[in-house]
Structure formats: C-alpha cells, structure tokens
Structure 1
Amino acid sequence: MPLPDTMFCAQQIKIPPDLPDILKQFTKAAIRTQPHDVLQWAAAYFSALSKGEPLPVKERIEMPFATETTDAGLTPGFLKILHKQFSPQGTVNVATLQEKWKDLCLPEEQLNTLLQLDNFGEEVEWMKFLALGCSVLGKSLLSSMKHACEIITMDPEGGAASVPFETFSFLYSYLASIDGEIPEEKTEAFLHGIKQQADQQNGMVLLRNFVTQPSSTT
C-alpha cells in the first residue's frame, strides 16, 4: 500500500535551535583538521562532543601537511590532539590509544612502530609516548624537544613555549636513553646548563633558550 502524500509547511518543520551552531562548529573543525576519512572522524567528533570529552580537532590547519599524501601520518597538530585527550590520565591503555589513533585516520603501522620503540605492556606512560611521537617529527634530539615544548606548553601560540624543567628533563633524558648513543655525562651536562637558565625563570625552560644551547647531544 503506497504511503499517502504528506504536505509540509514551514510551521510544521521544527529545526532544533542548537543545530545550526553545531553544524557550523563541526564544519570549521573539519576544515582545520583535514581528516583523511571524514565519516570516521565525524563519528569520533560527535561521540566526544556528546560525552564532553576533548574533541579530535586541530587548533589550526597545518598547511605544509595538507599537500602531502593522505597517509602522511603523525603531525604536530595530531599529536597535540592526542596529548589533550590523554595527558590528564598519565597512562593510557594500548587499546584506547589505538582507537583514538584510528579516529584521527592515522596509519596503524606508524603506531605499531612507535610502540615497539619501548617495552610497553598493555598500559603506556603517556609522556613517554609523547616523546617518541616528537622523535618522529624531529630530525634531531633538540628539534624533537622543540616539538614537545610547543605541544605541552600552556603559553599562547607564538609565545615562549615554556615548560617546567622537571618535564623537560624527563623527556630529554628519556629520548637520550632511547637513542642509546648519547653518553650519560653529556646528557647531564646539557641539562645542568638548562637548569641554570630555568632557575632564573621560576623553574621554567624557555624554548628560545635551549634551542641555542651549545651541545654535542643534538
């Protein structure tokens, strides 16, 4: 039996008052993030929105990466999203990390490679994984630390990208140990110089200070 024709008028169509703004913010987020799989990313976006969780959204579009192949992988913007999602927890279950990684449409093989760099079990210490992610982005130890500071800093974009010395020291020492070719005494000497500068800045390491620090551990 065919359905009867239904007539609608403007008065009958009710548009939820929040819908236009939700769609507007979603569109802006998609443009900034440039996900490879829009549908997969959209499902993660609205799931996080409904749960009040950090959204899988970049703070700004990363133009240098937008022209690369679609499977270009991890970028500073994507790593910053993951940091916002996981840093409050301290540790993260590997299965959850895999889920969030997939939500960002990042290649699974890249995640597996990162996890193999350390003897992680079912739980991953987030700051260690962050450091490993930065090592993929940087071409040297110091450039990796530059990425780390820019991701974890509370300073506004374009600021000093300051981070607590304890955090800087932990990340730098960890990456130096993973590298395996940097003598421990050189790591200690470098961090000693950084600490002297940090002591003059209320215990904070400023990005502009350490990137010019002379060291053979770069």
Structure 2
Amino acid sequence: MPLPDTMYCAQQINIPPQLPDILKNFTKAAIRTQPKDLLLWSAAYFRALSEGECLPVKDRLEMNVATQKTDTGLTPGLLKILNKQLSPMKTCRKEEVEKKWKGLCLPMDQFEALLSLGGFSSDIDWMGFFALGCSALGGTLLSSLKFACEILTEDEEGGPARIPFNTFVKLYTYLAHVDGDMPQDHINNFLSSLQAQVNKQNGMIQVSNFYVSRK
C-alpha cells in the first residue's frame, strides 16, 4: 500500500501563490546588489525575509568608489545596508555585526581591520563602527564625512544631503580622535565655525557647509 504522501504527478505539488512575487523580488534585489557570492548572500536574504528583518539589498546598482582597488570591499551602498540593519540597536554584539557583514560577502580582513582600529571587542558602538566604515571609503576626514552625510540623509539622491548637526558632531569628533593628531581646540573651533550655518537650517548641516567652512 503506497504511503499517503506519495506523489503521482506534478499537479499534486502545492505551490504557494506568493512564490512568483517572492522570486521576482529576489531576482531584482540580486541584480541591484550584485553580491560577490550569490549563495552566501541568498542565504542572508531569505533569512532576513523569514525573520522580518531589513533585507541586505542596495537601493540601486552602484559603481565602485574611486578609493577601492578591487570590487570586493565596502561600498557606500553596502554600508548603507549595514546601517539600516544595525543602527536601531545602537550597541551591537560583535557576532551580529559579523553575521551581517558576511551576508553582504564583504572581506573579513577589512572587518577585522575596522574592529582593531576602533578598539572594539564583544560589544560594538554602531555609530563608531559606521564612522570607521565611512573613513575606509573616504580616505580623508572630510571625504569620510561627505560619505556619512550621503548615506544618512533623508534627502533625495542628488539633494543637499543634510543630516542633524548633533550626528555630524559625533562623527567628526570620533574620527578626529581616532586620527589622533588633531588638537581638541582645533575640533572645537571647526565645529563652532559651522554653528551659524546650522542655526539657519534648523539644526541641520549639509555637505557644502563644512567644505566651505574648512576652506
């Protein structure tokens, strides 16, 4: 006597009605994100989907930034994904950050370098790690802050890339201290030079403000 679940024809296979849309969205996400390791990224994608988490998907297809020597490292689009996934926690377990990092197929030597630079151990202050990620993209302090503004802003792409000034202060101060060569009075003077422009913009700062002030 055959078992009750024996399949006799393809018509007996139950296909959820949502499957075509799931596969369509997955395909679009893969094209936009262009993961180096499709299988690794796919596992992260469907795990996030099943758990109702932020998906590891870029907003759009992007070109590599000029500071990259290869196409395997961190990009603004990938750092933006990490920020969406991890910033709500503010302080993250190293294992959680590492899991998200691996899900985006990013190189572990770069991850370890950022951990070492920030002196992070089991717990990671996300804003600090994010700032170091921007530094890896930008190379210089102001370029790093430019990336931070463009990633964090709620303005439309191509807009002024405004962020709250208190967020800018945290990022600038953190990176300046990591650099180690910038005196505190220099940090204070630079931030003070921006205050008048910030007051005119209701506590916000945009990329052009601090580039003009620096000059």
TM-score after normalising by structure 1: 0.89
Q: Which residue is 1:169 aligned to?
A: 169
CA gap of 1:99–1:87, structure 2 versus 1, over 3 A, is same
Report the 3-state secondary structure (helix = DSSP H, G, I; strand = E; otherwise coil) of the residue aligned with 1:158. coil
In the alignment, structure 1 residue 147 sits paired with structure 2 residue 142: no
Q: RMSD value over aligned CA atoms?
A: 2.0
CA gap of 1:120–1:7, structure 2 versus 1, over 3 A, is closer
Question: Deviation digits for residues 76-129 of structure 1, max 9, x if unmatched?
Answer: 111100000011111110111111111111110100000101222211110000
| Letter matched to residue 138 of structure 1 | G
**4+ residue segments displaced more than 3 Å:** 6-9, 11-15, 67-70
Q: Which residue is 1:43 aligned to?
A: 43
CA contact (8 A) 1:165 1:203 kept: yes
**Number of residue pairs the alignment of both structures matches:** 208
Q: Which residue is 1:124 aligned to?
A: 124
Alignment of 1:197-208 (within 5 A): 197-208=197-208
- For residue 194 of structure 1, report the CA deviation from its aligned partner: 1.4
CA contact (8 A) 1:146 1:211 kept: no
Measure, in 2, the Cα distance between the counterparts of 1:212 and 1:26: 43
In the alignment, structure 1 residue 104 sits paired with structure 2 residue 123: no
Unaligned runs of 5+ in 2: 1-6
- For residue 12 of structure 1, report the CA deviation from its aligned partner: 4.7
Measure, in 2, the Cα distance between the counterparts of 1:180 and 1:160: 30
Report the 3-state secondary structure (helix = DSSP H, G, I; strand = E; otherwise coil) of the residue aligned with 2:92. strand
Q: Which residue is 1:83 aligned to?
A: 83
Report the 3-state secondary structure (helix = DSSP H, G, I; strand = E; otherwise coil) of the residue aligned with 1:124. strand
CA contact (8 A) 2:163 2:205 kept: yes
Which deviates more from structure 2 when the two are superposed, residues 142-151 or residues 205-214?
Answer: 205-214
Report the 3-state secondary structure (helix = DSSP H, G, I; strand = E; otherwise coil) of the residue aligned with 2:53. coil
Measure, in 2, the Cα distance between the counterparts of 1:24 and 1:80: 23
Which deviates more from structure 2 when the two are superposed, residues 82-91 or residues 178-187?
Answer: 178-187
Report the 3-state secondary structure (helix = DSSP H, G, I; strand = E; otherwise coil) of the residue aligned with 2:186. helix
- For residue 14 of structure 1, report the CA deviation from its aligned partner: 4.5
Identity among equivalent pairs (%): 55
Unaligned runs of 5+ in 1: 1-5
| Letter matched to residue 21 of structure 1 | D
Question: Deviation digits for residues 41-74 of structure 1, max 9, x if unmatched?
Answer: 0011011011110000011111236x9745x211
Q: Which residue is 2:182 aligned to?
A: 182
Q: Which residue is 2:156 aligned to?
A: 156
| Letter matched to residue 111 of structure 1 | F
Q: Which residue is 2:4 aligned to?
A: none
- For residue 7 of structure 1, report the CA deviation from its aligned partner: 6.0
